[in-house]
Structure 1
Amino acid sequence: MTSTINPSSVVVATDGSEDAVRAVHWAAEQAWLQRRPLVVVAATGSPLAPAMAWSGVGAAYAPTVEELVAHGRAVADESLGVVQHLRPGLDASAEVLVGDPRQVLVDLSHRVHALVVGSRGRGAFRSKLLGSVSASVSREAACPVFVCRPRGGGAPLRGVLVGADGTPESLPVIEAAFHQASLLDVPLTVMHCVWDQVAALAGPGLVSPHEAGLEQQRLLLAESVAGMRTKFPEVATDLQLGRGVAEELLTTGSDGWSLVVVGRHPVDSLLRFLTGSVATAVVERARTTVLVVPQAEPAERD
């Protein structure tokens, strides 16, 4: 069934929950702005697992594949209707895939442009079906993943925020952030995080542009966006040095950003093992949508 999905598509997962609806709204706008097809996917879960959300039937009851597909089709068609209402001219379709949602979406990530998932889905169709899917998929997907977290409060939006580590492997992350800022027609803030003794004592915060002794870090930050400013001249860009742990700096006040963009090292990379996953921490803590962009394994350098 997945062979029918156009590889240029944006794919959004749905389970009928409020969180999935938020993801469907974001995905419809993304697909429209990028002029890409949108595919709404309902992954049914395993027919061998108890159907915990089938109220009145009993937790021990395991639905048949036919029952799972029927429920999935109803959920997918409902979400497709939302998309068609939001963007009537959008090339949109719906698919129902049998299997664990995490594995279904990770498999799809190898042959589509981007995935969009909600956070903490709790719909009537398979309770908690998307509950931990966002974390799993954002860790393992081969393509960029938008995780649509609920925004907190009513803070005015300041545009897109991206974390930059200054490595060549992070260039796709920076480019994705510039592209999103251009699509959304908002400013972009590029932040490089510095950890030093001051950060250990004072906690996270922004570095004053007048503070001396950080010229190398400022040069690294400027070099990381040099080519992108030429490629995306319409994007107003602000470069900031942050002092502290990256995940704290990228998520503090995150409800004031339209989008937070972060890179993710390969799942089995030594760097990810040593440093932990900043991307996973940002996905868990952010109060806005997060775009997780896969990065290549760092190359050996002389």
Structure 2
Amino acid sequence: MSADDVIVVGTDGSDGSGCVVNWAIGQAARMGAHLRVLVAYEIPSYSATNVDGSYVNIDDGSLRERAMEIAQGVCDKASKQGVSVDSHVSPGDPASLLLEASKTAAMLVIGTAGSQGFADRLLGAVSAVVPSRSHCPVVVVPRHQEGSPFMPVERIVVGVDGSDNALTALRRSIDVAAMWGARVSAVSTVPFATGNTLLAWMPPIIDRERVTQDIRVGLNVAVEQALDGREVKVARHVLDGNPAELLAEFSTAVDLIVVGNRGRGGFAGLLLGSTSRELLARSTCPVMVVPSHKRDKNSDPAKASPARTPWERA
């Protein structure tokens, strides 16, 4: 079984994890992929004491038993839908185990918060760490109260800023669209509006029409190269505004948002870019975060970094 045939879903059995599992099963069924259910359980690092001062024995057996029950429940659900499935139950940090699994998977599917709960607009620890360091694309599925939302995937929005990582995300969004027969909207943003009223009194220092046109040209070139002849409908939009805010607005009306983990203004090291980080905290639909990949030495240089020039001019 190759990495392209495996989707890994991380779950902890919490109330919000049902939609995560449903999304992963639906994607595996569509791809004809094998589903691997990963359930991690953490043994407390502190030692509790009884009233008499003796140490309390921590029974990790019960923790493992509960984890196995969760995994079996997901396996049963996937099997009923004709999806090939297995499970992996292990003690340890969930983020670390997921990152290890990402080395041999086509996709990770996780939720926004775990069973310990977080404030509504904050990311859980796993969803804050895994997308920035994963070796494969990560789909972060938000909480949803009823049903199996966001399936089928019919409408996809991808953020494109001219970076190599964003262009990889664009190609990935077209791959997903081709699989589902979905429509794609490729969105580039120009943050002309800063929200600072003092700037309204200053003379313009850039030619907005020129910048917008350059970015539109770059977006069109990038889309055509990413399509590579495939018949996928891709609308192109150049919008004025904050990219994370605009993509979050789109998330209320589409089934999937696709972004790179770091854009042109990205961060050094293994941190998420500001747009993808903010989007994950605000999106109401699943977000696919696509990692950057080192250019293959045998790849076509003309396709490795398409449409850089118009963005650089902007």
Shift of 1:158: 6.7
Alignment CA distance shift 1:6-1:218 (3 Å):
closer
* Secondary structure of the structure 2 residue equivalent to 1:11: strand
Residue identity in the other structure for 1:257: V
Query: 2-side partners of 1:62 and 1:257: how far apart?
Result: 49
Once residues 47 and 260 of structure 2 are traced to their aligned partners in structure 1, the CA distance between those partners, rounded to angstroms, is 36
| Match in the other structure for 2:51 | none
List per-residue Cα deviations over 1:14-35 (Å, max 9, x = no partner).
1112321111111111111111
Counterpart check, 1:218 vs 2:216: yes
| TM-score (norm. length: structure 2) | 0.75
1:77 Cα deviation from its structure 2 partner: 0.5
Alpha-carbon displacement from aligned partner over 1:197-231 (angstroms, at most 9, x marks no partner): x45469xxxxxxxx943221110110111123334
Q: Any conservation in 2 of the 1:28–1:83 contact (CA below 8 Å)?
A: yes
Alignment correspondent of 1:162: 158
Q: Does 1:38 align with 2:35?
A: yes
1:229 to 1:250, Cα distance in 2 relative to 1, 3 A: same
1:48 deviation in Å?
2.9
**Displacement of 1:297 after TM fit?**
7.1
Query: In the alignment, which residue of structure 2 is the partner of 1:73?
Result: 68
Would the alpha carbon gap of residues 147 and 169 (structure 1) be closer, same or farther in structure 2, given more than 3 Å must change? closer
Aligned to 1:116: 109
CA deviations on 1:148-200 (whole Å, 9 max, x unpaired) are 01359999x9710000012334322011111122222221000011122x454
Structure 1 residues 270 and 191: alpha-carbon distance in aligned structure 2, compared to 1, 3 A threshold: closer
**Residue of structure 1 equivalent to 2:135:** 142
Contact 1:47 1:68 in 2 (8 A): no
For residues 50 and 12 of structure 1, the distance between their equivalents in structure 2, rounded to whole angstroms, comes to: 31
CA distance change for structure 1 residues 253 and 61 in 2, over 3 Å: closer, same or farther? Answer: farther
Task: With the length of structure 1 as denominator, give the TM-score of the two structures.
Answer: 0.78
Max Rg structure: 2
In the alignment, the residues of structure 1 paired with residue 246 and residue 240 of structure 2 have an alpha-carbon distance, to the nearest angstrom, of 8
In the alignment, is residue 103 of structure 1 matched against residue 100 of structure 2?
no
Check whether the contact 1:6–1:37 (CA below 8 A) recurs between aligned residues: no
Distance 1:283 1:136, change over 3 A: same
Match of 1:175 among 171, 182, 191: 171
Equivalence for 1:57: none
C-alpha RMSD of the superposition = 3.4
The answer (yes or no) to whether the contact 1:142–1:294 under 8 Å persists in 2 is yes
Pair 1:184–1:275, CA change in 2 (3 A): closer
Residue 286 (structure 1) aligns with: 283
Q: Distance in 2 between matches of 1:199 and 1:290?
A: 26
Gaps of 5+ in 1: 52-59, 203-210
Structure-1 residue corresponding to 2:244: 247
Identity %: 25
Aligned equivalents of 2:225, 2:36: Cα separation in 1? 33
User: Is residue 2:185 matched to residue 1:189?
Assistant: yes
- Written as runs of structure 1 = structure 2, the 5 A alignment for 1:228-247 is 228-233=226-231, 235-247=232-244
Provide the rounded CA distance (Å) in 2 between the counterparts of 1:283 and 1:120. Answer: 11
The alpha carbon displacement at 1:118 in A equals 1.5
Q: CA deviation at 1:64?
A: 3.0
Pick which of 251-260 and 144-153 moved more.
144-153
Residues of 1 paired with 2:2 and 2:44: CA distance? Answer: 27
Q: Which amino acid aligns with 1:150?
A: R
Q: Is the 8 A contact 2:165 2:291 kept in 1?
A: no
Distance change in 2, residues 1:255/1:150 (3 Å): farther
Shift of 1:236: 1.3
C-alpha distance 272-297 of structure 1, shift in aligned 2 (>3 A):
farther
Unaligned 5+ runs, structure 2: 49-54, 198-207, 296-303, 310-314
The separation in 2 between residues aligned to 1:40 and 1:275, in whole angstroms, is: 25
